[in-house]
Chains A and B, each alone.
Chain A
Amino acid sequence: MLHANKSQTNTNKSPMLQFPAVSTRFRVLLFLLCVSCTPVGVAQSQNPLADDPRAAAAGGTLFRAQCATCHGADAKGIETIDAPDLTLLWQREGISDAAVFAIIRNGRPGTIMPPHSFTDPQLWMLVSYLHSVDASRTTRLPPGDREAGGRLFAAQCAECHRAGGVQGGSLGPDLGRLASRRSLDSLRTSLRDPDALINRGYEAVTLVTADNERVRGLIKSEDAFTLQILDSEQQLRAFAKRDLRELSRDQQSLMPAFSEAELSEQQFIDIVHYLQSP
């Protein structure tokens, strides 16, 4: 079908800069495929549209229509249905354009991710779009001092966080992993105003046991009858709710807010340099 349409689309000059409808998009992409002399319909390992920003835009339209119900309009996933955050896709081990192309086409057998009957150009448009929302792409890091960052981390953060590896605490998330998965703005917000967004698994709770022990910790899991927490001593503990004297959910994060006076912007940048170093 694609071959049959090719000559037709070559003669069509007007829609080149438009992406509003599928048919138009097809024509533009077929034109692109033709000028790059890439054989159409043959599986490729390289995205033939990688250098064209219009492909990402068209892929975005397709994504919002066909993928967003599970992966969210911002591609950040929906946790309750196990649909992953695709802005972090490119940080997966062994990922490539060809692999993403194949996953969308074939689905993930045994998961909710179905196969899709998109054409090759549509699949490449989606690959281009997913590159455009790559979380690491939005992080433009100003210059900083990695070693100074390492010293700051050890002094200020390591009680609760790790920076990859085994050193540090486990109350908060591993910042070595986070620093390459989240934008600089998002990291800054978590530092200056940690209560603004408390992710699941980091909601704080204070409870009083039958023995009058007061325990503070993070809710790791909960059902109608039980509560599983990581307490402030970084011990995993579980409680039957009916055995508790008190159970109060805190609106504040256990993470303290760091003002500019306590940790300057440059010091924050230094820490990020340290976290992103291999």
Chain B
Amino acid sequence: MFKTIKQFPLLICLCGSSLFAQESGPSYDDILAGFADGERWLTYSGDYSGQRHSPLTQINPTNVANLRPVWTFQTGTTTRGRGFETTPLADNGVLYVTGSNNYAWAIDARSGRAFWQYRRNLPGDLTYGASAPVNRGFGMLGNTLFMVTLDAHLLAMDRRTGDILWDVVLADYKTGYAATLAPLVLDDKVIVGISGGEYATRGFIDAYAPDTGARLWRFYTIPGPGEPGSETWPDDPDILARGGGGTWMNGSYDPELDLIYWGVGNPNPDYYGDIRPGDNLYSNSLVALEASTGKLRWHYQFTPHDLNDWDSNQLPVLADIDWRGEPRSVVMLANRNGFFYVLDRITGELLQGTPFTATSWARELDADGRPIVLNDGSKGCVPDPWGSTNFMPPSFYAELNLFIVTARETCATFVPEAPDFAPGQASFGGVVFIDNTVGTGALRALDVATGAVRWEFPYASPSFGGVMTTASGLVFAGDHEGNFMAFDAATGENLWHYQGGAQIWGAAPMTFMLDGRQLVLIAAGTTLTAFALPD
């Protein structure tokens, strides 16, 4: 393009260089500023904390009943059995949206019309990516978008055209790997994780250079032979090499501590533990890594020696709160195993762990923070492999000290069976019977000080909808029956609902200002819908 311009010096002279000046796009400082600019939403949760709590107040408990759809965008691609799980990014009136089957779009936020569409030619022999063909969103820095793929690549894309700038392989998808999360973009790094813990894989967290795609560091979630943590596994390199520990959901970042917080998934095989005696670190843990080096600062394991596929890939939520009279920097996580945890995010010290569902697996933790397991599944009903909550983001409402989460009450029986291990074939290690007649769900507001449920709104079935709160005192959430809903954050009273016609599965709402009007967006089924108050 510049060569062409040089052929017309007169044009440049007459029109001035500003005609060709590029808008530089959001910087790291912009992302760091989080919600400071109400017209932007620049990273998966809106800011690095994972609180998904917007300061916008135009839509409030008094007027939310008037909320109505402004436009609907149709993706034209289906995700049968799973959801349209993305969180759009918003900048300068344009939405950057990833979809299922590795579609992606830039969409005019005023009209819902696409500027461009990207569709990846996916190989026909996808492994994990075929059974969960989802994507949770873009990362963004300057004019570059970052997106992971079902064949386990990381792409850099020009935000104005959807053109691919670079394309790097994270891992060999044929073995069982895939990638589905929204990349976490820091000042000079793009952080991503990997899916595939149902296969004979070994999980990791990677950092890449935003401009070249060069890999800067890798942290393996399953240690190598002789490395710290390997003592919690059998002394067998093969078992470690296929130990699982996926990192398929987004992490959070504390810029002052320069630590990233990331959940780690199940050990493999999922249900059959006899061939992997021990705690199986760092499966089912939260890890705090130095962002500059990828070195492990601390870890906390929620479910030692998991037998139920209760990945700990739920979103870590960072907050600075008053804890028993002292200011404390904490990380909070509501886990698939049914417990809500509060940890000191500087040291990893467990401050509190309390059940937020009726799980019979355990009801309390011992003095060392280990669960006192009452029922490993052999005594009947425990939460199903989808867990007591999952990858649908929760929200933290600081003024109310409420952690608001979609809770699932389910009943499953696990029957372990020794698996065969083969590249590209799942090795669950058994079978699960889910009793579909008893499942329910609820939106629950947990008092962070005690872990107690302060209010709940019951759902007709176990749901996968994510949560967002706004500073006007509202909670936005979705259920498995297709309702997008607003609640009074203090009481849980339902104030508004809209039947969108598809399960809200994995997606969480986002919001931003456009031309003085607050938009709220939710993805579900094959649609992305924008809502606002009437003009």
Contacts and interface: CB of A to CB of B under 8 A. Distances in A.
Contact of B460 (A66, A106, A222): A222
For chain B, the bracket of interface size reads 35 or more
Given A80-B436, A110-B80, A224-B481, A65 B457 contact: no
Nearest to B270: A69
B420 interface: yes
Interface string A226-249: 000000000000000000000000
B84 to A, nearest CB: 13
Given A64-B417, A82-B81, A114 B131 contact: yes
Interface stretch (A41-49, A71-79, A154-162, A188-196): A71-79
Nearest first, the 5 closest Cβ-Cβ pairs linking A and B are A112-B81, A114-B130, A223-B481, A111-B80, A73-B431
A225 B483 contact: yes
Given A72-B433, A82-B80, A224-B479, A117 B425 contact: yes
A34 B459 CA distance: 57
24 contacts: A64-B417, A65-B419, A66-B426, A68-B431, A69-B385, A69-B431, A72-B433, A78-B434, A78-B436, A79-B436, A82-B80, A83-B81, A107-B130, A110-B78, A110-B80, A111-B81, A114-B127, A115-B126, A115-B130, A117-B174, A222-B460, A224-B485, A224-B494, A225-B494
Contacts of B126: 114-115
B433 A69 contact: no
A81 interface: yes
A22 interface: yes
Contacts of A223: 460, 479, 481-483, 499
A57 to B, nearest CB: 15
Interface in B436-457: 436, 439, 457
A69 B130 contact: no
Contacts of A112: 80-82, 131
B258 interface: no
Nearest to B100: A110
Contacts of A79: 436
Contacts of B174: 117
B432 interface: yes
A223 B441 CA distance: 11
B130 A73 contact: no
- Which of B80, B428, B439, B482 is packed against the most chain A CB atoms within 10 Å? B80
B16 interface: no
A37 interface: no
B238 interface: no
Interface string A156-182: 000000000000000000000000000
A82 B461 CA distance: 15
Nearest to A79: B436
Contacts of B494: 224-225
A73 B436 CA distance: 15
Given A114-B126, A115-B125, A224-B457, 4 more contacts: A65-B420, A111-B81, A115-B124, A223-B482
- Which of A72, A79, A110 is packed against the most chain B CB atoms within 10 Å? A110
- Which of A65, A79, A116, A117 is packed against the most chain B CB atoms within 10 Å? A65
A115 B123 CA distance: 11
B428 A65 contact: yes
Interface string A91-130: 0000000000000001100111011111000000000000
